[in-house]
Amino acid sequence: MTLSRRSLMRWMGRAMLGTGFAGIFAGPAAATDRRTTPAQIEGPYYPSVKPEEADWNLLKVGDGPLPDGEPLDLRGVVHDRRGNAVAGARVEIWQCDSHGIYDHPGHDNRDQFDRRFQGYGRAVTDAEGRYRFLTLMPVPYGDRPPHIHVTIRSDTHDTLTTQLYLKDHPENDRDGLLALMIYPGQDLLMIEARDADLGLERAGKRGDFDFVLV
Ligand SMILES: [Fe+2]
């Protein structure tokens, strides 16, 4: 993956905000301030064409069966730095299938993409800022650790584009993008997933992740 200097600087700026480094320049943060979710680059596989079905449930395409892989129920809240819910935020996620293939023309082996998996989904936060996706536990591909891409747009806050990772996954240590982040900036992008009965035909995991927008 190649980072342009401009996108790298923009990304590092957002990452520093997330680590609290902004406080050095802006003075002490108010007691109610929360740490901003760090941004990361969009990457090359944002869908060039959105799938026909683009809802919150990436595990169900039409009336088709479950895709390969381990189901993940990902939920959380989008709020601002003072803890206020951001209602009506448009949350998008995209990720590879359980075999490491993206539904994107730039990805090798796209023809082998698991068509039972939606690959991309979107949801709108409710009045309490809550969102939810049924998707797959991400898997590593190439030199990247498991991750889920996210973009959040709202009429009242800055757009956030980032990537979520799995807490304590061994591949995280080898990742160039994560290595660029100053600890504990990395810590702000980790999903803590635990075993859960999701009521599906296969056992899965529940993951919670809250976003903090500027
Ligand atoms: Fe990716």
Residues that place a CB less than 5 A from ion ligand 1: 43
CA angle 191-195-199, nearest 5°? 110
Q: What is the mean pLDDT of residues 147-159?
A: 97
Find the 214 Cα to ligand 1 centroid distance in Å. Answer: 24
pLDDT for the residue numbered 183: 66
One-letter identity of residue 75: R
Sorting pLDDT into bands at 50, 70 and 90, what band is 32?
low
Give the largest CA-CA distance in the chain.
Answer: 54
Cα 32 to middle of ligand 1, angstroms = 33
Mean pLDDT of 2-16: 47
Ligand 1 centre and the CA of 147: distance in Å? 6
Total domains, the chain: 1
What is the residue range of 179's domain? Answer: 5-213
CA 125 / ligand 1 centre spacing (Å): 23
Least confident of 20-29, 43-52, 96-105, 136-145: 20-29
* Interval between CA 143 and ligand 1 midpoint (Å): 10
Average pLDDT of the chain, as a whole number: 87
* Domain CATH for 53: 2.60.130.10
Cβ–Cβ < 8 Å for 93, 75: no
CA of 148 to the centre of ligand 1 (A): 7
162-212 pLDDT tens trace: 999 999 999 999 899 998 887 668 889 999 999 999 999 999 999 999 999
At residue 182, the pLDDT reads: 75
Q: How far is the CA of 172 from the centre of ligand 1 (A)?
A: 13
Q: How far is the CA of 42 from the centre of ligand 1 (A)?
A: 8
- Quick check: 25 pLDDT over 50? no
- Rounded to whole angstroms, how far apart are CA atoms 179 and 20? 17
